[in-house]
C-alpha cells in the first residue's frame, strides 16, 4: 500500500493537466489542486497498512450486506477520488462477473487487474461519458467519428484510442483512467466497444480541469466545499496506445453495455448514500436556523421541515433496502438494482424542492451574511455580531456560520455543482427511470390490478376477456 508521501511523489510523472488556459506544472503547488492532493494523501495515511499483500479497507470487495453497509461511513469520511476508486473496483468486479460465461478471458484479466490495483493501492477514476456529438445519432453515424472514444489503429501489441471523456471527477489527481463504453453498441460499432485501463501519464492523455473550489482563501466561509472540492477533468485521448494486457473489451458490441450498467449500479449506490447523509444535514440546518430565527414553532416552517424529514427518511430506507436485498455471489455482494435506482432517482428528483424549503425557512442571509473575518474586524465585529444575533443565547457569529454552511452547501459554487451533479451524475434521471422500470415486477403489478378488478387470469397467465 502507499503512504500519503508516496502518493504525492507518484504525481510527479509528467501528467499533462491544464487549468484556465495554462499547463499545470506542479499539481501540488496549484492554488485549487494543492489542498485536494493533501486530502487524498491524508486518506492514504489513514488507511495505510504495512505488508506486501495488504489491501486498503476502502478497496476491499464487500462480501455481505453487513460489509456493504460498513463501507459507507468510511467512504463518507474519505475524499471523492477514494470513493470513485472504490466504485471503479466494484464496477470492474461486477462487469467481470457478468461477462464471465461469454468472455472468460477478459473476465479473468479484469479480476487479475483488480487484485493488482488493490495491491498497488492506486487511485482510479471512471471515464465513461463521451463527448457524444449529436445525441440523436449513434457513434458510427456522427459527423465527427471521434465523438465517441474508439480504436483508430490496431497493432500486434495493443490498440491506439482516440476520443474524449467529459466531466471526469478527480482525473488529474489519479493514477489510472478506467475507460469504458458509455452505452450499448451495435454491429458496425465494434471500434467503439472498447474498455481498457490507461495510466494518466500516458503520452496523448491531456486533461483540462475545472473547479468549484472556494472562491477565496478564508476557508471558514466555506465549511463544506473546503473539505470536499475536487477538480473535474475534461479528459482527451489524443491517440493513446493501450497494450493488450490492459484491454478488457475490444469489439464485442453485445457486451458493451454491461460495463456502463455495472458502473451505474455503483455510481448510484454512492450517490444514494451521499444523498441520504446530505438530506439529514439539510434537515439539521433547517431546524437549527428556524430555532435561531425564532420560528421553529411556526406551522408553515414545521410543515416544510416535516416534508424534509420524510424525504430524508425515504432515501435512507431505499439505501437500506438496496443493501439488505443485495445479491451475494462468490465475487462479492452487489446492491439491489431496483432499490438503488429508485432511491437515487427519488433523492435527485426531489432535491431542489428540499433546497427550496431550506432557503425559504432560512432567509436572505444565506447569501449576505458577513464573513467570519468581518466578525474579527474591530470596527465591524461588534456591530455585525449585534445585528446578526436574534435573541439571548443566539450569537450573531453562530448564526452567520450556519448561513455560511447553508450557502456553501446549496447556493454558491459547490451548491450549484451539487444541484447539477445530483441530476446528472450516475447517468441522469432518464437512465435511472429506465433501470428502475427494467427491474420492477411490472407483470406482478398487472396481476394485482387484474385481481382487484375481478378479471380472471387464464391458465397460461393471460387475462381472459380479450
Residue 82 to residue 379: CA distance in whole angstroms: 44
Q: Do 178 and 91 form a contact (C-beta atoms < 8 A)?
A: yes
Least Å distance between CB 142 and ligand FAD? 12
User: Quick check: 129 binds ligand FAD (CB under 6 A)?
Assistant: yes
Cell of 369: 451574511
Backbone angles phi, psi at 119, to 5 degrees: -65, -45
Give the interface size with ligand FAD as a residue count (CB under 6 A).
21
User: Quick check: 428 binds ligand FAD (CB under 6 A)?
Assistant: yes
Least Å distance between CB 424 and ligand FAD? 4
User: Quick check: 420 binds ligand FAD (CB under 6 A)?
Assistant: yes
Q: Do 264 and 337 form a contact (C-beta atoms < 8 A)?
A: no
Task: Convert residues 166-205 into a mask of x (bound to ligand FAD by CB under 6 A) and - (unbound).
Answer: -xxx------------------------------------
Closer residue to ligand FAD in complex, CB, 54/419: 419
Choosing from 121, 232, 277, 374, the residue that interacts with ligand FAD (CB under 6 A) is 232
CA atoms within 13 A on the CB side of 308: 27
Residue 262 to residue 274: CA distance in whole angstroms: 19
DSSP summary character for residue 192: G
Cell of 409: 452547501
Choosing from 79, 121, 126, 176, the residue that interacts with ligand FAD (CB under 6 A) is 126
3-state SS assignment for residue 195: strand
Least Å distance between CB 456 and ligand FAD? 39
Closer residue to ligand FAD in complex, CB, 293/422: 422
Least Å distance between CB 50 and ligand FAD? 31
Closer residue to ligand FAD in complex, CB, 25/135: 135
Choosing from 16, 79, 427, 436, the residue that interacts with ligand FAD (CB under 6 A) is 427
Residue 343 to residue 273: CA distance in whole angstroms: 10
Residue 410 to residue 360: CA distance in whole angstroms: 12
Task: Convert residues 136-165 into a mask of x (bound to ligand FAD by CB under 6 A) and - (unbound).
Answer: x----------------------------x
Residue 246 to residue 258: CA distance in whole angstroms: 18
Bridge partners, residue 327, by sequence: 334
**Cα–Cα–Cα angle for 279, 280, 284, nearest 5°?**
115
Closer residue to ligand FAD in complex, CB, 136/392: 136
Residue 79 to residue 61: CA distance in whole angstroms: 19
Closer residue to ligand FAD in complex, CB, 16/232: 232
Choosing from 421, 422, 432, 436, the residue that interacts with ligand FAD (CB under 6 A) is 421
* Residue ranges binding ligand FAD (CB under 6 A): 125-129, 132, 135-136, 165, 167-169, 232, 417, 420-421, 424-425, 427-428, 430
Amino acid at each position: 500500500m502507499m503512504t500519503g508521501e508516496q502518493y504525492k511523489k507518484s504525481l510527479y510523472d509528467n501528467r499533462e493537466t491544464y487549468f484556465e488556459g495554462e499547463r499545470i506544472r506542479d499539481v501540488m503547488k496549484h492554488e485549487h489542486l494543492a489542498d485536494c492532493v493533501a486530502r487524498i494523501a491524508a486518506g492514504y495515511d489513514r488507511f495505510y497498512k504495512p505488508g506486501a499483500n495488504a489491501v486498503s479497507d476502502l478497496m476491499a470487495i464487500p462480501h455481505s450486506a453487513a460489509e456493504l453497509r460498513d463501507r459507507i461511513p468510511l467512504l463518507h469520511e474519505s475524499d471523492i477520488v477514494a470513493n470513485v476508486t472504490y466504485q471503479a473496483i466494484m464496477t470492474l468486479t461486477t462487469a467481470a462477473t457478468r461477462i464471465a460465461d461469454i468472455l472468460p478471458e477478459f473476465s479473468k484479466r479484469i479480476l487479475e487487474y483488480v487484485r493488482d490495483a488493490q495491491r498497488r493501492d492506486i487511485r482510479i477514476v471512471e471515464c465513461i461519458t463521451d463527448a457524444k456529438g449529436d445525441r440523436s445519432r449513434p457513434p458510427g453515424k456522427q459527423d465527427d467519428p471521434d465523438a465517441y472514444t474508439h480504436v483508430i489503429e490496431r497493432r500486434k501489441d495493443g490498440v491506439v484510442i482516440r476520443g474524449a471523456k467529459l466531466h471526469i471527477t478527480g482525473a488529474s489527481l489519479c493514477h489510472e483512467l478506467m475507460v469504458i463504453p458509455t452505452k450499448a453498441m451495435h454491429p458496425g460499432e465494434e471500434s467503439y466497444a472498447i474498455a481498457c485501463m490507461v495510466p494518466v501519464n500516458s503520452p496523448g492523455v491531456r486533461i483540462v480541469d475545472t473547479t468549484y473550489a472556494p472562491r477565496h482563501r478564508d476557508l471558514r466561509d466555506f465549511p463544506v466545499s473546503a473539505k470536499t472540492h475536487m477538480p473535474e477533468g475534461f479528459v482527451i485521448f489524443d491517440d493513446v496506445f493501450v497494450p493488450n494486457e490492459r484491454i478488457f473489451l475490444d469489439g464485442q458490441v453485445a457486451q458493451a453495455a454491461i460495463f456502463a450498467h455495472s458502473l451505474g449500479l455503483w455510481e448510484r449506490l454512492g450517490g444514494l448514500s451521499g444523498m441520504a447523509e446530505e438530506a439529514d444535514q439539510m434537515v439539521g440546518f433547517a431546524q437549527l436556523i428556524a430555532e435561531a430565527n425564532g420560528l421553529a414553532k411556526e406551522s408553515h416552517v414545521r410543515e416544510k421541515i416535516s416534508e424534509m424529514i420524510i424525504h430524508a427518511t425515504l432515501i435512507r430506507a431505499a439505501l437500506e433496502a438496496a443493501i439488505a436485498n443485495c445479491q451475494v455471489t462468490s465475487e462479492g455482494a452487489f446492491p439491489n438494482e431496483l432499490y438503488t435506482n429508485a432511491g437515487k432517482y427519488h433523492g435527485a428528483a426531489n432535491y431542489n424542492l428540499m433546497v427550496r424549503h431550506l432557503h425559504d425557512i432560512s432567509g436572505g442571509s444565506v447569501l449576505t451574511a458577513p464573513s467570519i473575518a468581518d466578525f474579527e474586524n474591530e470596527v465591524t465585529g461588534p456591530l455585525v455580531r449585534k445585528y446578526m444575533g436574534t435573541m439571548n443565547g443566539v450569537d450573531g457569529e453562530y448564526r452567520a456560520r450556519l448561513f455560511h454552511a447553508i450557502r456553501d452547501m446549496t447556493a454558491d459554487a459547490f451548491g450549484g455543482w451539487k444541484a447539477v451533479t445530483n441530476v446528472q451524475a450516475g447517468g441522469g434521471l432518464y437512465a435511472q427511470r429506465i433501470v428502475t422500470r427494467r427491474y420492477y415486477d411490472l407483470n406482478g403489478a398487472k396481476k394485482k390490478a387484474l385481481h382487484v378488478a375481478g378479471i380472471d387470469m387464464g391458465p397460461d397467465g393471460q387475462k381472459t376477456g380479450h
